[in-house]
Amino acid sequence: MVGRLIGKKYGDIVAGVQAIGQKNTILAIGMAQTFLNPLSSIVPAMDIICQNLFNSYQIWQKIDRIC
């Protein structure tokens, strides 16, 4: 909800939501490495990788339609 409000203020709701979501995932990685077994940080890291791959694919599709 916070990301949506920030994104709406600046005219880009999707970017606001993704920025807040990725920051929360980075927090989860840091907490997992600090308080749990460091191997438990692999799942949140894979989540960030999947998000970035999907976002890159969406950008590639949008650029492909423009050209």
pLDDT in the model for residue 21: 66
- Residue 30 lies in domain: 2-66
What is residue 39's three-state secondary structure? Answer: helix
Q: What is the pTM of this model?
A: 0.56
Tally the domains of the chain: 1
pLDDT in the model for residue 22: 66
Label each residue of the chain as H, E or C: CHHHHHHHHHCCHHHHHHHHHHHHHHHHHHHHHHHCCHHHHHHHHHHHHHHHHHHHHHHHHHHHHHC
Q: What tens-digit pLDDT sequence spans the chain (67 residues)?
A: 776 777 778 887 777 777 776 667 778 788 888 888 878 888 888 888 888 888 788 878 877 777 6
